[in-house]
Structure 1
């Protein structure tokens, strides 16, 4: 089984550029209604225009976008990832810190559509 998350966004092209800059991934589709972002040839994230009507129930107006969803990405170079986050200047929810339970570094922030995003290194990477 594979996970292939798809999120609904206001501006597919802007969100694509945000995630390409943040994650170092590539566009594998492109366009203003749908995007496939890949990393090393593997699907990482799909973006779909919130206003496209072909998927009923994709974006119920009474539920906040991203409610209960966290997009979590692991990196082998946490400091470089934090630098990319800072350049994109999103709303920071939690500054870089060590999660003592997982012993990993994390930064929590919001993407342009308000989705909660976490970048972390690998479990156990943060030593005492």
Structure 2
């Protein structure tokens, strides 16, 4: 089993661009009504515009809280390259980069264009706490 979180977005093209340029993901058969984003050959997340009718339990666009109680967490083997992309794209940084001493990994916390919190984390145990 492997998770593939799906998020609702205001502007599919803009969000697609953000995740590709900031996280280095690539698109798989991008469509007008959905998007699959890949790392290597593996789907790591999906996106749909808010106006889609295919997922009635996805939520409502008029409710402003995005992902309360949820983080989009991505592990990367090349944390330095990920931080460089974040800086080059002037992504909104909430915290970091910093060391999480509990697991010995570096993390940077971001906010995506729709308000979701995105965490990029290096490998656990990479850095001695």
- How high is the TM-score relative to the length of structure 1? 0.91
Q: How many residues align?
A: 128
The answer as to whether partners of 1:13 and 1:31 remain within 8 angstroms in 2 is: no
**1:114–1:62 Cα change, 3 Å:** closer
Give the distance between the partners of 2:13 and 2:64, measured in 1 at CA.
23
Query: Residue 46 of structure 1 aligns with which residue?
Result: 46
Matches within 5 A, 1:1-20: 1-20=1-20
Instruction: Structure 1: give runs of 5+ residues left out of the alignment.
Output: none
Give the distance between the partners of 1:72 and 1:112, measured in 2 at CA.
16
Instruction: Structure 2: give runs of 5+ residues left out of the alignment.
Output: none
The answer as to whether partners of 2:22 and 2:91 remain within 8 angstroms in 1 is: no
Query: Residue 76 of structure 1 aligns with which residue?
Result: 77
Give the distance between the partners of 2:33 and 2:69, measured in 1 at CA.
24
Give the distance between the partners of 1:62 and 1:40, measured in 2 at CA.
34
1:14-58: CA deviation from partner (whole Å, max 9, x where unpaired): 111111112322211212321011122111110110122232131
The answer as to whether partners of 2:25 and 2:37 remain within 8 angstroms in 1 is: yes
1:50-105: CA deviation from partner (whole Å, max 9, x where unpaired): 12223213123336122211011111111111011112222211021100101110
Query: Residue 93 of structure 2 aligns with which residue?
Result: 92
- How high is the TM-score relative to the length of structure 2? 0.90
Q: What's the secondary structure of 1:33's corresponding residue?
A: coil
Runs (4+) off by over 4 Å: none
